[in-house]
Amino acid sequence: MLTVNYLPAVVLFLSTLTLPGWAHAATEGNASRGAEAAAVCTSCHQADGSGKHNEQGESWPQLAGLDAAYLARQLQAYKSGERKNATMKPFASMLSEQQIANVARYYSELTPKPGQGGDSASEQQLQRGRLLAEQGDWSDYIVSCKSCHGPDNQGAGSVFPGIAGQHAGYIEAQLRAWQAGERTNDPQDLMGTIARRLSDDDIQAVAAWLATQPPQSN
């Protein structure tokens, strides 16, 4: 179990690890060429990288403004099968190493838009979501989101993405995927451990609150 005093040290260690080739390559990406390669991404992630929230269906994440190395890592994970998604697998497999770096750089330089899906939440839900995101709930050993995702949940390096302003439907889907063991590409099972301690109401609450928060500005 991670204690309050120990967790920041873990986060600092994980965020300062010597990163593999995908992280270095992302810093070398060409945004202009990335825009060309990202043309196949627009049907889901939109031309401006803002993604889309569907109340009764799949939501596609906002990519604009996310860390380039993080994006490159996720594309590599889809390509290798480490992260499973039937839609993303063929698109990621089409990209070369350099194209992945280019696409990641392109999206990282776009300006994010406000998240969707939090407006319909009740005040009670939003307050619960804020508590979980900013303070956690140590009665259930739930670590706050910002402990890893940084101040205001706007991201911490290439390991922990900005989640403020992300669409509620996408956050919900990912928390449930970690909870069920369907997604496992997080360091030391941090997300899986936390997600398994969240109730369905908690997942909906924190997703809604995060969606209402200002996204990271670049």
Task: Give the chain's domains with CATH numbers.
Answer: 7-13+115-211 (1.10.760.10), 18-108 (1.10.760.10)
Please, which residues bridge with residue 52 across strands?
Answer: 60
Helix (H, G, I), strand (E, B) or coil at 129: helix
Are 54 and 119 a contacting pair, CB within 8 Å? no
Query: What is the predicted pLDDT for the residue at 62?
Result: 98
Task: Name the one residue in this structure whose structure tokens are 């696409």.
Answer: 103
Q: DSSP secondary structure string, 143-162?
A: PPTHHHH-GGG--BTTTB--
- Give the mean pLDDT of 139-158: 96
Helix (H, G, I), strand (E, B) or coil at 178: helix
CA separation for the pair 107, 99 (Å, rounded)? 12
Q: Where are the beta strands (DSSP E) in the chain?
A: none
Please, which residues bridge with residue 160 across strands?
Answer: 156
Are 145 and 11 a contacting pair, CB within 8 Å? no
180 exposure class (CB count in 10 Å sphere: 0-12, 13-18, 19+): exposed
Query: What is the predicted pLDDT for the residue at 14?
Result: 46
pTM: 0.87
Look at residue 11 and tell me whether its pLDDT is greater than 50: no
CA distances from 72 to 14, 24, 35 (A): 17, 10, 14
Q: Which has the higher per-residue pLDDT, 151 or 26?
A: 151
Query: What is the predicted pLDDT for the residue at 6?
Result: 39
Helix (H, G, I), strand (E, B) or coil at 142: strand
CA separation for the pair 199, 182 (Å, rounded)? 17
Look at residue 157 and tell me whether its pLDDT is greater than 50: yes
Average pLDDT of the chain, as a whole number: 90
Query: What is the predicted pLDDT for the residue at 209?
Result: 98
Look at residue 92 and tell me whether its pLDDT is greater than 70: yes
Please, what is the end-to-end C-alpha distance for the chain in angstroms? Answer: 35
Handedness of CA 75, 77, 80, 83 (dihedral sign): negative
Look at residue 8 and tell me whether its pLDDT is greater than 60: no
CB-side neighbour CA atoms (13 Å) of 43: 4
Which tens digits make up the pLDDT trace of 30-79? 999 999 999 999 999 999 999 999 988 899 999 999 999 999 999 999 99
Residue 121's pLDDT band, with cuts at 50, 70 and 90, is: very high
* Max Cα-Cα span within the chain: 49
Residue 81's pLDDT band, with cuts at 50, 70 and 90, is: very high
Look at residue 4 and tell me whether its pLDDT is greater than 80: no
